[in-house]
Structure 1
Amino acid sequence: MSITSRLVRYADLIPCKNAFVDTRTPGSDAKENFSLIGPGVSENPNQHVHIPEPHGFNIGAARQPGGCLNSQHSHETAEVFVVHSGHWAITFGAEAGADGEVEVAPGDVYSVPTQMFRGFRKLDEGVGFLWVALGRDDPGRVQWAPKVFDLARQYGLVLLKGGRLVDTTVGETVPPGAELEEAPNAELVRRLATPSADKLASCAVRLADMRGNPRSPLAGPGVEECPVITPAETRDGFAPGPITGWWPHGFNLRLLRVETGARIPPHVRDEEEVIFVHRGTLEVTVDGEAVDMAAGDTFTTPKGATRSFRALSSDGVLAYVVRGGDQAGAVRFVGQRAAAE
């Protein structure tokens, strides 16, 4: 099987414009949701999944024009935003912004704790894109804030227990005997309280603050590997941080900075590895087969395969990498570098 089957190009993304119960709400009706790897948390059974293979985590995305918002909701597993384009506000509380918000810009990363209400809004003009990592193969379902249910009913959307969405405006009907999902009561809203501002501040890493780890086995001439989310000390030389989280992630997140022409030599990993190119053109070679990734593209490397990377673009490459497990495994180099070591 060609490795191109493991590549999702930005130009080929298939959106769902009716993925959630809030998608008819004015201000939210222009958003697009994507499931790149795994089913994600979509409530629409017609959501297209680009790569269904279980990874231990999910990769999704959201694309929204200026002013468009994603309503307040809570997740059962980790939700990590990598800002690819646009400026965004992540809003906290059962009412958008009631408990504060944080602004994020291209290249920034924000990991939102589980069991709290959050939403996000595109701030500037033009279309923006968020690349999103979700914890576990089954990330559960979304818990919406109370106001979302009232607005959904006004615009013909009904959410059933279990997370299935019924769109009455296109002739869908609630199945006989089906139970409707109810808005959270006051006690549940209280339990989904927003953490302190100090704790929320520890959930962000700005692109400008990301620093290479000299202990990374991938580090070399023109190559830096920067920690972003490291829940625990890893077997490839990374200490916990800068984001550790008091909730489980189940994966590591790194940033690769590769200067023009620089290479990461052939090596093998035994955990899942998903690459997202934020800027530039990255050549990925897997078991002798090469593919060029452009900005916005996503690629999942087969476990146990030999892979190498090279920056082709004149301004280098920035690529985010998700590696499965809290304790990312050791790297095994092959060929000349392995012999030198």
Structure 2
Amino acid sequence: MTLSREDMERRIVRYGELQPCRTAFIDAHTPGSNQKENFTIIGGGVSESPDQHVHIKETPGFNIGAAGQPPHCRNSLHSHRTAEVFFVLKGRWRFFWGRFGTAGEVVLEEGDIFNIPTGIFRGFENVGTDYGMIMAILGGDDAGGGVVWAPQVIEDARDHGLVLGENGKLYDTKKGQRLPDGVRPMPLLTDEELTAFPETPAEAVVPFHVARYWDLMALAGKAPARVIGADALLKDRPGFSVELLTRGSIPEDAYETPRHEVLMPVRGHWRLAWDGNSTVLAPGDTCAVPPGLRHALAPSMTGEASLYRITNTDDPAGATWRAEAA
């Protein structure tokens, strides 16, 4: 296939052009979580707010999003039905999980990646000293149909004016909004339902679901480091695969693939060339390369260069490893 420069630019979301939503989720007014910025880059994501801007609506079998937070700001405990993978673009982040966030935790640095198991409550906070950014890959075209919140999150949100309806939409009582007729509040999970969310310790999660950036850089010799996939370092099949490409492991020649490919630079600037055109991708940019497009990648400057490459697979989005399998 061929693609014009204009069409390719429409498939690139630049970091500096990201449009945040500050009311994306139920904890948007809760102290400690009320300074979050959420970004929906590819696909509709899991936002509960009609104010969320979607940059690229067409999905390649998965969604791409991001969260930006100042120091000490946290994202409240929730669970996903399908895969949720994060890598740290900027800052230092603590991820925690369990019914009350006390079952386990891990701290991630820039470039580190975490394939969070389905079926557990999870949250995260910026424990760095500056504004931080994490990029997210969510399984499935519909990102699993939303999130499941820990009961205390819904109760705290209600005390601060936000009510989540059974329809998955938020209503701000501080703005005079109310649940529409026939729409009930989202019910709290019962004690019986909560037993389905295990309290998985860190030693059953971290070794199998966290990959450190510098370990991946060492693995990416003459070939990309296989990060997530059936034959990868993190052995999982969430509906997509993840690789880390470096200066020494990029394909020597132009290539094409029958699958969707999303490029997300971590360090350095990368030149993407196709059909006699080229553009430069920087850290924080997201580029959706369509199937069948012959293209080439190369660092455009000297120094460290790395990017994550995400490719859709034939595996169902819900095929990710569950916590109770540990």
* TM-score, structure 2 normalization: 0.90
Q: How many aligned residue pairs are there? A: 307
**What is the rounded CA distance, in whole Å, between the counterparts of 1:204 and 1:252 in structure 2?**
15
Helix, strand or coil at the partner of 2:158: helix
Confirm or deny: 8 A CA contact 1:263 1:311 kept in the other structure: no
> Could you tell me which of 283, 303, 307 is aligned with 2:291?
303
8 Å Cα contact 1:274-1:323 kept in structure 2:
yes
Matched, 1:208 2:196: no
CA-to-partner distance for each residue in 1:181-223, whole Å, 9 max, x for gaps?
Answer: 0121111211011334333021100012114466xxxx4xxxx
> Unpaired segments of 5 or more residues in structure 2?
316-326
Mapping of residues 39-188 of structure 1, within 5 Å: 39-96=44-101, 98-139=102-143, 140-188=145-193
Matched, 1:13 2:18: yes
Give the match's secondary structure for 1:71: strand
SS in 1 for 2:205: helix
Distance change (3 Å), C-alpha of 1:277 and 1:213:
closer
Does 176-185 or 65-74 show the bigger shift? 176-185
1:148-193 per-position Cα deviation (integer Å, ceiling 9, x unaligned): 0111111110101131111122232210121110121111211011
| Contact 1:281 1:312 (C-alpha < 8 Å) held by counterparts | yes
Cα distance, 1:263 vs structure 2:
6.8
Aligned to 1:338: none
Q: Which position in structure 2 is the counterpart of 1:227? A: 226
Q: Secondary structure at the match of 2:154?
A: helix
Candidates 266, 272, 286, aligned match of 1:284 = 272
1:124 and 1:196 mapped to 2: Cα distance? 24
Task: Report the residue type matching 1:132 in the other structure.
Answer: A
Distance (Å, rounded) in 1 between the aligned partners of 2:248 and 2:209 = 28
Shift of 1:259: 5.4
- C-alpha deviation, 1:114, in angstroms: 0.7
Q: Distance in 1 between matches of 2:296 and 2:75?
A: 37
Instruction: Select the residue among 236, 242, 262 that pairs with 2:233.
Output: 242
The code of the aligned residue for 1:127 comes to Y
Q: Does 2:260 correspond to 1:256?
A: no
TM-score by length of 1: 0.86
Moved more, 284-293 or 134-143: 284-293
Amino acid at match of 2:152: K
What's the RMSD between the two structures over aligned residues?
A: 1.7
1:314 aligns with 2:302: yes
Contact 1:259 1:316 in 2 (8 A): no
Structure 2 counterpart SS, 1:191 = coil
Instruction: Pick closer, same or farther for the CA change 1:213–1:88 going to 2, 3 Å.
Output: closer
In 1, are the aligned partners of 2:220 and 2:245 still within 8 Å (CA)?
Answer: no
User: How far 1:326 moved relative to its partner?
Assistant: 5.5
Q: Percent identity?
A: 37
How many Å separate the matches in 2 of 1:118 and 1:267?
A: 38
Q: 1:170 to 1:212 in 2, by over 3 A?
A: same
Alignment partner of 1:275 is 2:274:
no
Q: Which letter does structure 1 place at the counterpart of 2:211? A: V
Deviation, structure 1 residue 288:
2.3
Answer with 181-190 or 72-81: which moved more: 181-190
- Runs of 5+ in structure 1 lacking a partner? 233-239, 328-341
Q: Comparing both chains, which one has the higher relative contact order based on Cα–Cα distances under 8 Å and sequence gaps of 6 or more?
A: 2
Separation in 2, partners of 1:194, 1:241? 26
